[in-house]
Structure formats: C-alpha cells, structure tokens
C-alpha cells in the first residue's frame, strides 16, 4: 500500500545516503568524520524536499558515492556495476562517462557499460519496446513545458533556468548553458586524468559538477551538491567564510526556499552558489592556485 511503501522509500533514501557517506569516513581524520556524519545526517533530514518530491536523488547520490568509494578502494568491477545504477536518472549522467573513461581503468569502463546496458535491455524485454516510445514522448512533452513556461522553472538550479528567467529565448539559453556543461566536462576530464589529486577532491568536484552541467537540475538535486561539499571537507576544505556561507545556502536554505508561499527566484540564488562550490572544488585539486584556494577555502 502507498501509505506503507512511500515512508519506506523515504527511509531507504536517507539510509542509503548516510551509509554511502560512511564509506568515505575511514580515510578522513576523526574530527572531519564527526563533522561529516553530523552534516550528512542533518542534510538528509533538512532537505525535506526529497520527502515532498518523491525523487530518487538520495538513492542516486548514494549509488554514485558508493561507486566512487569502491573504485578508490581497488574494486573497479563492483564500482562499475554500481555506477551503472545512476542511469536511472539520465539528465544527471552527462559527466559520468567522462569521469569513468578518464580513469583509464578498462575494467571500470567495461563494468559500467555492462551495467547500463543490462538496466536498459532487461526491462525492455519485460515491458516491450513501447516503453521507450512512451518515454521519448514524455521527454518531448516535458521539454515543451519547461521551454514554454518560464515561471514553472523557478525551482531549477541550472544556468539555463537563470538565462530563461532573464529573458533569453530557448535556443540562446540552451546554447549558453552548453558552454557551462562543456567547462564542467573539461574540468572533470582534466582532474580525473591528473595523477596525485586526492580522492576526496576528485569525488567532490564530480558530485558538484553533475547538477551544474545539467540544464535540467531541480532543487532536490542539491543533495548531490551537499555530498560533494562533504567530500571537500575530507580534502581539507571548509575553513573559510565562503565555505560556511555555501553550507548555509545549500544545506539549510535549499531545503525550504522552493516551498515558500510567495514565489522566490530560487534559481538566481542557487545557480551562483553551485558555481561557487564548483570553483571551490576545483581549487582543492590544485588547478586554480594557492591564492584562490585560500579565498574559496
């Protein structure tokens, strides 16, 4: 029954999110682990948008975090199989193949490819090819709705939504957001190919880049950004005032701003915040210089 299934779904999402975070804890200092555990548990509960929206974001984030942790611990096949689960939310997968291929680990690439293929083929055998036709039709309908109704996308956190809100037409907004996606893709490829970058910094960058790159990222995707910021704590980030401002915006404000009675232009707050978090993540990889790292850290 729905009254039983939905609470179980919510609990499963929060539990998966917390357990995935715990996988990274052994590689962090004790103080950092305590902060991470507190923020992770609090973030999962504070972002009640997950409960309200019924989205898979917490489970999706848990799958990605687990895949990254498994690969870091030397289990590329298990990591690839787990990362394939992320294909259940295609709009968030733009950068995942780039990161996987950038590792140069053939077993990781092969396992991820096999996992994605199985998740596409097996349900098709069960439901028939008509599933994909219905899915493509639904995508077209949603694309038209988002493209034609600028006011309906206040709860999005992408630069596409910002540009549409500022009055740019659909082709221009899509084209400019493509530059954001390209920039995030180049950063992910460079960092994941670069030897010596700490795992926490690489993982944090990828997690924050995922919603930044997607033009179709909504308020509930802030759970992914939160997970990325928690990884950055493990990389030594979080001492400066900018870090704490970002935590307040993402962890606290992001959970309730979309639900205020009066329309709040959520996108104008969150798109710059996620971009700033992305730059902070990039600074932790050593690509922006120590002076920038001090400012953003």
Local confidence band at 190 (pLDDT 50, 70, 90 cut-offs): very high
Q: Inform me whether the pLDDT recorded for 124 exceeds 80.
A: yes
Summarize the confidence of residues 106-132 as an average pLDDT: 92
Give the residue, 232 or 158, on which the prediction is more confident.
158
Q: Output the six-digit token pair for 224.
A: 């992914």
Label residue 105 left, alpha or beta by phi (over 0 means left) and psi (-120 to 50 means alpha). Answer: beta
CB-count exposure of residue 263 (10 Å: 0-12, 13-18, 19+): exposed
Rounded Cα distance, 3 and 188, in Å:
41
**pLDDT given at position 46:** 55
Cβ(254)–Cβ(43) under 8 Å?
no
Residue 172: CB atoms within 10 A of its CB come to 12
Rounded Cα distance, 39 and 37, in Å:
6
**pLDDT given at position 206:** 96
- Go through 118-152 and write b for each residue having 16 or more CB atoms within 10 A of its CB, e for each that does not: eeeeeeeeeeeeeeeeeeeeeeeeeeeebbeebee
Summarize the confidence of residues 28-41 as an average pLDDT: 54
Summarize the confidence of residues 180-205 as an average pLDDT: 92
| The dihedral sign for the CA sequence 103, 105, 110, 112 | negative
- Go through 45-73 and write b for each residue having 16 or more CB atoms within 10 A of its CB, e for each that does not: ebbebbbeeebbbbbbbbbbbbbbbbbbe
Q: Inform me whether the pLDDT recorded for 16 exceeds 70.
A: yes
**pLDDT given at position 195:** 85
**pLDDT given at position 80:** 95
In the DSSP assignment, the letter for residue 85 is G
Tokens 């010596």 sit on residue: 196
**pLDDT given at position 179:** 96
Q: Inform me whether the pLDDT recorded for 227 exceeds 70.
A: yes
**pLDDT given at position 98:** 96
**pLDDT given at position 219:** 84
Cβ(231)–Cβ(291) under 8 Å?
no
Which pTM does this prediction carry? Answer: 0.88
Summarize the confidence of residues 36-60 as an average pLDDT: 67
**pLDDT given at position 42:** 53
Cβ(35)–Cβ(43) under 8 Å?
no
Q: 86: closest CA among 54, 110, 120?
A: 120
């Amino acid at each position: 029954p729905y009254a039983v299934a939905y609470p179980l779904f919510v609990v499963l999402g929060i539990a998966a999110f917390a357990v995935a975070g715990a996988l990274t804890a052994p590689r962090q200092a004790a103080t950092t682990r305590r902060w991470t555990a507190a923020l992770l548990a609090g973030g999962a509960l504070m972002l009640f948008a997950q409960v309200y929206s019924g989205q898979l974001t917490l489970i999706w984030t848990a799958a990605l975090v687990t895949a990254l942790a498994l690969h870091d611990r030397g289990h590329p096949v298990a990591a690839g199989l787990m990362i394939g689960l992320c294909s259940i939310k295609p709009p968030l997968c733009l950068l995942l193949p780039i990161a996987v291929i950038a590792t140069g680990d053939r077993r990781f690439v092969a396992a991820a490819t096999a996992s994605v293929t199985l998740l596409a083929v097996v349900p098709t055998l069960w439901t028939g090819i008509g599933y994909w036709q219905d899915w493509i039709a639904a995508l077209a309908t949603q694309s038209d709705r988002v493209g034609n109704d600028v006011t309906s996308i206040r709860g999005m956190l992408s630069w596409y939504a910002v540009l549409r809100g500022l009055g740019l037409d659909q082709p221009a907004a899509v084209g400019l957001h493509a530059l954001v996606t390209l920039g995030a893709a180049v950063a992910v490829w460079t960092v994941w190919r670069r030897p010596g970058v700490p795992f926490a910094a690489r993982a944090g960058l990828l997690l924050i880049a995922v919603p930044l790159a997607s033009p179709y990222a909504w308020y509930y995707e802030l759970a992914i950004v939160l997970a990325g910021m928690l990884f950055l704590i493990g990389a030594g980030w979080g001492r400066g005032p900018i870090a704490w401002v970002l935590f307040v915006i993402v962890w606290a404000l992001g959970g309730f701003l979309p639900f205020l009675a009066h329309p709040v232009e959520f996108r104008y707050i969150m798109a710059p915040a996620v971009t700033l978090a992305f730059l902070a993540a990039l600074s932790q990889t050593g690509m922006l210089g120590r002076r920038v790292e001090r400012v953003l850290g």
